[in-house]
Amino acid sequence: MSVVLVTGASRGIGRAIVERFAREGATVIACARGQAGLDALHADLPQVECHACDLRDAVAVDALARDVLARHGQVDLLVNNAGAFRPGAIGEEDDDALLDMLQANLFGAYRLTKRLLPAMIARRSGMVLNVCSTASIAAYPNGGSYSIAKHALYGFSRNLREEMKPHGVRVVALLPGATLTASWDGVPLPPERLMPAEDVAEMAWSAWSLSARSVVEDIVMRPQLGDIGEGDFQ
């Protein structure tokens, strides 16, 4: 039975990924900052192991990795999904914005991956799936430090993939566009204009379910009508 660790797991894309892998009988470990969201997840899926952890806290990340490895011995699939969105133009956002976005979207994923990689390398198998964004590969107005951080996460994915090729560890970058999650609450758009989080989870499952001889390096997903633009608000 595969052991799957998902960060940012209590809502949105993360929760959808948890539900998809739990449905397949995987041993799923869910991590999120908020205990209330984890409690709700556990109430719906009591078989899922839940851990409260702020990925911006290096000590907490190390403790999470130690605990998971002590309980399970290994993680077969790490899904780095935790992140935060903070819009703003570079020239107008405050000086702390970049560090804040890097801490939320990159540093925790980087540190947790480093703690779990040695066991993957030792057994020459495993996968790291980083949930990036179309903002990782395209600039857009008001992207600011968020887009910079997502570009960095994609760069981390690409470099890690090259390093892991000789070790049999697969690295996937999943880059979804506008997805119907809490990030879009209050935005005057019909739900049909956004992708369902379940579709993103399905792509994560598809990438994982390939044989170890194959890897989907990058998965780019967008709403069928394309990226959200100014025309959508007219």
Quick one: 61 exposed, middle or buried, by C-beta within 10 A (0-12, 13-18, 19+)? buried
Tokens 């935005």 found at: 187
Distance separating alpha carbons of residues 61 and 51, to the nearest angstrom? 11
Known catalytic residue: 146? Answer: yes
Residues 6+ apart with CB under 8 A from 211: none
At 191 the three-state DSSP class reads helix
Cα 6 from chain centroid? 7
3-class secondary structure for 26-83?
CEEEEEECCHHHHHHHHHHCCCCEEEECCCCCHHHHHHHHHHHHHHHCCCCEEEECCC
The residues carrying an active-site annotation are 146
